[in-house]
């Protein structure tokens, strides 16, 4: 089992809709979780991080963490074509300090 798994894509949503990206993790000791966005041919860039149970909002983005279910999600409200990218979920390790493991990524396409 992969340490971090993301919902299989690709995901396609119309402009203005809510895009929902999901991630599960297997290491119960994981403390911090990150969502990165990666445009084709570019480096990943951080969108949000979360380490407390519940929701964390930043503009059109909301990260949700449920440690009991070992589940992290990212909601993108009012999706724009410029949000079309690969989204990567990452989690810190509960046993190897400083180790950060990524999921396989979900490709999101927002169509006009």
Partner 1 sequence: DADVTQTPRNRITKTGKRIMLECSQTKGHDRMYWYRQDPGLGLRLIYYSFDVKDINKGEISDGYSVSRQAQAKFSLSLESAIPNQTALYFCATREDMNTGELFFGEGSRLTVL
Instruction: By CB under 8 A, tell whether 109 contacts partner 1.
Output: no
Residue 66 has φ and ψ, to the nearest 5°, of -130, 100
Structure tokens at 79: 């999706």
Residue pair 64/72 in contact by the 8 Å Cβ criterion: yes
> Interface with partner 1 includes 52 (CB under 8 A)?
no
Considering only residues 63, 74, 85, 90, which one is a binding residue for partner 1 as defined by CB under 8 A?
Answer: 90
Pick from 49, 56, 67, 75 the residue near partner 1 by CB under 8 A: 49
Rounded least distance, CB 83 to partner 1, Å: 19
**In the window 18-37, what residues touch partner 1 (CB under 8 A)?**
31-32, 34, 36
Q: Does 43 bind partner 1 (CB under 8 A)?
A: yes
Nearest by Cα to 62 from 43, 35, 80: 35
Q: Report if residue 102 touches partner 1, rule: CB under 8 A.
A: yes
Burial 68-94 (b: 16+ CB within 10 A, else e): eebebbbbbeebeeebbbbbbbbbbbe
Which residues of the shown chain bind partner 1 in the complex (CB under 8 A)? 6, 31-32, 34, 36, 42-46, 49, 51, 88, 90, 92, 96, 98-105
């Amino acid at each position: 089992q992969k340490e971090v798994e993301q919902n299989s894509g690709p995901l396609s949503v119309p402009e203005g809709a809510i895009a929902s990206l999901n991630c599960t993790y297997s290491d119960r000791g994981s403390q911090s979780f990150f969502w990165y966005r990666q445009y084709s041919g570019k480096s990943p860039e951080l969108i949000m991080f979360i380490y407390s149970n519940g929701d964390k909002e930043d503009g059109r983005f909301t990260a949700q963490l449920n440690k009991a279910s070992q589940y992290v999600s990212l909601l993108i409200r009012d999706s724009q074509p410029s949000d079309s990218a690969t989204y990567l979920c990452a989690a810190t390790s509960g046993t190897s300090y400083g180790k950060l493991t990524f999921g396989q990524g979900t490709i999101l396409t927002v169509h006009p």
